Chain A
């Protein structure tokens, strides 16, 4: 059956560069000397370390436990010894550091003792499955890193369609393609498990039409398992076809409501890599300790490797024949939405799908934006390319003018930062950066407004309390006064005032005399005092008056 596809608006055609890294089969990367495991590799609260420095760990052992519901544990990817727990560079657009568990590997790769596992996922309830998936540390491997168990909830049977995203629309990235080609059976198994957890009636696997081999393997696997509720769909190769919202529109024709979630229209979307990880976890009892990563760009041998989580990027670059000394730019993720690393000693984390290497001496594989932007000529190429239907030229105009209310009128927060507008801009304006700046400024203003609201509230309360206290005090005094008889109080007061006035008069009289130490002075002393007095009179300024 051919499914009718729907186009999303805009998008751009990009040079794919996928051939280079899909020529050789996937092999496991070397076990590095040290593994760096950030406690936060997912959206939500960071995990809490459960090991101490010096502890011996085995492959698959939990080294950090989830904290709260929006969190997952971290497992040791291989056997070794905990060398340190502390700050280390992590993959982050701003080059931040964060708490990591650093493991010195022993090269033995000894696994922890397997508990007995359930053979068939059908024997588990959806709740048990979710808990198992959570305990296996699985997050969305497509890039966002949202804990997967939260997206597998079958509440109120709302999920009608489970979409498995195998579009992989960014240039250079090929890890999902190679996964589908080599592990199609496992991917389909994972899909089955997800479907069971979600109780979804039907499933769609969407693959871009530039991956015919992956499509063939997946179709074979579906046929082999005789899954009549699964539909394999080929979608056109247009960036960003793999964006969740764009893919949902392409295959269902429906749009996810603004500020809503796919579940609002009965859809849940997962990445094929996540399906594979879930299959490994449920069917084989393996937690998420490795993933497929594409290494491409200025390396001798571009390829996809199965990499242990925590492997330093520098090790991968060297393993693929790249020269660390001539690196100019290393991008984690794709060239459209990935970010440039500040340092190559950061680890591969659960969401790392691609390492794109750029060298200062080899041919630059990336045609970059010019450093000197011209003014916007409002040609509208950006709005033609925007997959969301925004007017990037207007967003840019108002961001430049710092008119942040207008920017929100033009729906800034619907921008998915896919980079299409930026890519096509003839004036080479770094548009996405402007939008990030606008978003951050607005967030910052909101935070400040909240804080000032709180302090204003506090101030109001404070004022109210003072007034109340004043009122109460006045009332108390009034009552007291009423208690005492009026006349007696009056007489007492008069007498007191009289006495005080008398005291004051006496005091004035006694103090209105010369200082005692000026009597009986010698002539010389008297002369000296006169001189000083004269000098004081002559000298200007306030000093003389004192």
Chain B
């Protein structure tokens, strides 16, 4: 008689890494739709380039590292990385931006740093920061959200722009592109133009943050809340990131509203909400204890604000996440929860 003798437990929940990642992707769908509504086809084209590059690089790296291909190709984590990176790339950036960024994220940020589960940094942010440092011009050339509706760039026009850099007759890249609201405020402040003046003279600003950006933020927020409801992520990190960003920007805003943006502006501009729900929560590189996650999130919120306001780059989420990734193991060690029957230390 030969009975199977696996060890307990003998039952397992109907869950898998693939399911977790699919839920993250599903949560991003509303944001992708909203983004495309304001900024045109560019994001979808970037997602396609990034995802294809990511899968190709993943396959190559798995073969080189002699790891089983099928389970890792289907776990979905690499597609999440690709899409998050595509979100950070300007809509009509040349194709090689998405290609290089994703390639770097997967090859270096993920596999050379240890592969799934072992990479100390968020791979998407490794790719993003590499692009931002290496190609600042391409990475800060965004489209103004209201112009996209008026220009009515079709899919083929966008595709052509991304792959050849050619725009339809009568358009020039310099003529249609614009800086992001965060970037604009930064450059204007450097010329001693106050936020109020900037807001009045540029048609980029909506109720809270930038036009378009704030609505994308809302949809990202919705997806993030759904992830918390589905227990894919915990509330600690998003709440800590957004809460600390809100508090510190409120303090400075109350001190000088002309020089410091309002808390709502900071929350609804740039990648704050996306970062809080989808990037900082990347479990592999984040802190993992409940108290640790809060400290980790607060660190990201504060660093983001510091880099935005006093640093050389318009948005600081990418850098803030990478810096806190480094601190995560130490945070975890010092924030162990109290174990049943033990006294609180």
In the complex, the answer to whether B332 meets A390 with C-beta atoms within 8 Å is no
**Cross-chain pair count, CB within 8 angstroms:** 173
How far is it, in angstroms, between the C-alpha of A240 and the C-alpha of B338 when the chains are bound?
19
> Is the beta-carbon distance between A344 and B10 smaller than 8 angstroms?
no
The reply to whether A329 and B4 form a contact with Cβ atoms under 8 Å apart is yes
Contact check, B11 vs A378: say whether CB atoms are below 8 A apart: no
Q: Which residues of B have CB within 8 Å of A426?
A: 15-17, 19-20
Q: Tell me the B1-40 residues at the A interface (CB within 8 Å).
A: 1, 3-17, 19-20
Q: CB-nearest residue of chain B relative to A9? A: B340
- A245 and B118 CA atoms in complex are apart in Å by 35
- Nearest CB of chain B from residue A205's CB, rounded to whole Å: 23
Q: 8 smallest A-B Cβ distances: which pairs? A: A375-B117, A419-B9, A258-B341, A340-B5, A369-B12, A335-B10, A379-B283, A388-B340
Query: Which residues of A lie under 8 Å from residue B337 when comparing CB positions?
Result: 383, 389, 391
Contact with B along A367-388 (1 / 0, CB 8 A): 1111010111111110110011
* A417: chain B residues within 8 A (beta carbon): 8
- Beyond A340-B3, A391-B289, is A423–B9 a contact (Cβ under 8 Å)? yes
Across-interface contacts of B341 in A (CB, < 8 A): 245, 255-260, 414
Contact indicator B116/A328 (Cβ below 8 Å)? no
Interface residues on B, range: 35 or more
Contact: B9 with A380, CB < 8 Å? no
Chain A residues near B17: list those with CB within 8 A.
Answer: 374, 377, 426-427
Q: Are B10 and A384 in contact (CB under 8 A)?
A: no
Is B7 a contact of A339 with CB atoms below 8 Å? yes
Q: Which residues of A contact B290 (CB under 8 A)?
A: 383
B117 touches A376 (CB 8 A): yes
A: contact size bracket: 35 or more
Q: Using Cβ atoms and an 8 Å threshold, which residues of chain B touch A124?
A: none
Per-position contact with B for A423-454: 1 when CB-CB < 8 Å, else 0? 11111101011001000000000000000000
- Determine which of A331, A339, A377, A433 lies in contact with B116 in the assembled complex, contact meaning CB atoms within 8 Å: A377
Q: Say yes or no: is B339 at the interface (Cβ < 8 Å to chain A).
A: yes
Residues of B within 8 A of A388 (CB): 339-340
Q: Is B258 engaged at the interface, CB distance under 8 Å to the other chain?
A: no
Additional A-B contacts beyond A341-B3, A426-B15, A430-B7 (20; CB < 8 A): A255-B340, A327-B1, A327-B3, A335-B8, A335-B9, A338-B8, A339-B7, A340-B10, A343-B3, A356-B10, A368-B6, A370-B16, A377-B20, A379-B20, A380-B234, A391-B289, A391-B337, A414-B340, A423-B9, A427-B117
Per the bound structure, the CA–CA distance linking A344 and B2 in Å amounts to 10
* A–B complex contacts, Cβ < 8 Å, 30 sampled: A256-B340, A257-B341, A258-B341, A327-B1, A328-B3, A328-B4, A331-B10, A335-B8, A337-B8, A338-B10, A340-B4, A344-B1, A345-B1, A358-B4, A368-B6, A368-B11, A374-B75, A374-B117, A375-B116, A377-B20, A380-B234, A380-B283, A391-B288, A391-B332, A391-B337, A394-B288, A423-B11, A424-B13, A426-B20, A432-B8
Q: How far is the CB of B119 from chain A (nearest CB, A)?
A: 10
B5–A368 touching, CB < 8 Å: no
**A342 within 8 Å of B by Cβ?**
yes
Complex Cα gap A45–B197 (Å): 87
Would you give the shortest CB distance from B296 to chain A, in whole angstroms?
12
> Is A410 part of the contact surface with B, judged by Cβ < 8 Å?
yes
Closest residue of A by beta carbon distance from B72: A374
User: Which residues between 76 and 95 of chain B lie within 8 Å of chain A, taking CB atoms?
Assistant: 77
B115 at interface, CB cutoff 8 A: yes
Q: Shortest beta-carbon distance, A376 to chain B, in Å?
A: 5
In the assembly, what is the distance between CA of A338 and CA of B332, in Å? 33
Asked if B284 is an interface residue, CB under 8 A from chain A, the answer is yes
CA gap between A328 and B6 in the complex, in Å: 11
- Bound CA–CA A255/B342 (angstroms): 9
**Contact indicator B339/A389 (Cβ below 8 Å):** yes
Residues of B within 8 A of A150 (CB): none
B166 contacts partner chain A, Cβ-Cβ < 8 Å = no
Contacts of A256 on B, CB cut-off 8 Å? 340-341
* Residues of B contacting A425 in the complex (Cβ-Cβ under 8 angstroms): 12, 15
CB distance from A351 to the nearest CB of B (A): 15
* Selected contact of A343 from candidates B1, B12, B14, CB within 8 Å: B1
Complex CA–CA separation, A410 to B17 (angstroms): 25
**When each residue 39-82 of chain B gets 1 if its CB lies under 8 Å from chain A and 0 otherwise, what string results?**
00000000000000000000000000000100110010100000
